[in-house]
Structure 1
Amino acid sequence: MNGRECSIANALGVIGERWTLLALREVMLGVHRFDQIARNTGASRDILATRLRKLVEAGVLEKREYESRPRRYEYVATEAGRALRPILLNLMEWGDRYATDGPAPTVWRHSCGADLHPATVCAHCGEPVEDGSAHPVRIGAVR
């Protein structure tokens, strides 16, 4: 391996590609069938099939049969896939703020009734994670 050992790099090896993230967006929005995912992402069928297969192999999505004749499948998030929801919501929030002209194309509403604006907080004390409030601690050998 070249460079620094990094969990971000490991995660990007699974989900760090445009069509993969857009397919995950669709599953998060409740779209589970291949044709609908293809239509909503704009991905070509062969690229989307490859990305979905990789997500299934990585344990992020599960492929479930919903019709036996002809055989048809849908894609459902596993525990690992559901764990990506806060990451995707934060990425969307960043995109709304820094990469989208005009109003946000989609707004998520929390169960309390307010528009959702995700924030990262410390699981121990509940304080927001802001610049200077956290620092890395390397475990194991430093490269």
Structure 2
Amino acid sequence: MPRASTHAPDSGWTDSDCPVARTLDLVGDRWSLLVVRDAMDGARSFTEFQRRTGIARNILSDRLRKLTAHGLLAQRTAPSGRRREYVLTDAGRDLFPVVVTLRQWGERHAFAPGEVHSTLVDQRGGSVPDLVPVGPDGTVLDADTTHVRKARLDPASDCGR
């Protein structure tokens, strides 16, 4: 079921009618997606995010603030009661297939054959199958079998997939 956006169109969007452009405006930089990836892997504190990513403190502060402001992360009191921690919201968890697809693309195209890399496994240690979009009839969809239906007729708007 579609959810209402909490992000009204404004002049700051790269392309306000394109979901791909808006998503990239929110999480398209390297550090934002790595913070989301690490939150999915259990990082909660500023220190954990910094240690895992190696990101500069000022950039990490900016990304955490942005991801929280846009509803991908939320802050809560840590179980110890002494600190605040960051947790994924439903919107942040909805990025899981995006991160998995980027990982799978990277496994195929960013490493030399036989080069060692991390792998994503399920709770039983099994390999995660490739994510592949399919149509209602089960047909595999790709760039040759889909097209974008524009929200408005504007030749200047060039929203890709």
Task: Identify the TM-score tier after normalising by the shorter chain.
Answer: 0.7 to 0.9
The higher-RCO structure (CA 8 Å, 6+ apart) is 2
Map of 2:76 onto structure 1? 64
Letter matched to residue 121 of structure 1: P
DSSP 3-state at the match of 2:74:
strand
Distance, in Å, in 1 between the alignment partners of 2:53 and 2:138 is 36
Equivalent residue, structure 2, for 1:11: 23
TM-score by length of 1: 0.84
**Runs of at least 5 residues in structure 2 that lack an aligned partner in the other structure:** 1-10, 156-161
Q: Which has the higher helix share?
A: 1
Taking only aligned residues, the RMSD between alpha carbons, in angstroms, comes to 2.3
Aligned residue pairs total 141
Q: TM-score, normalised by structure 2?
A: 0.76
Contact 1:96 1:103 (C-alpha < 8 Å) held by counterparts: no
What do the CA deviations read for 1:90-115 (whole angstroms, capped 9, x no partner)? Answer: 01111111112344522122367631
- Separation in 2, partners of 1:128, 1:46: 43
Aligned counterpart, 2:140: 128
Report the Cα offset of residue 30 of structure 1: 1.4
- Quick one: structure 1 residues 59 and 3, their matched pair in 2 at CA, closer, same or farther if it must change by over 3 Å? closer
Please name the residue that 2:7 is paired with.
Answer: none
Q: Percent identity?
A: 33
Distance in 2 (alpha carbons) for counterparts of 1:78 and 1:42: 24
Deviation at 1:16, TM superposition (A): 0.9
Q: Secondary structure at the match of 1:100?
A: coil
Q: Are the equivalent residues in 1 in contact too, given 2:72–2:88 (CA < 8 A)? A: yes
> Relative to total residues, which structure has the larger strand share, 1 or 2?
1
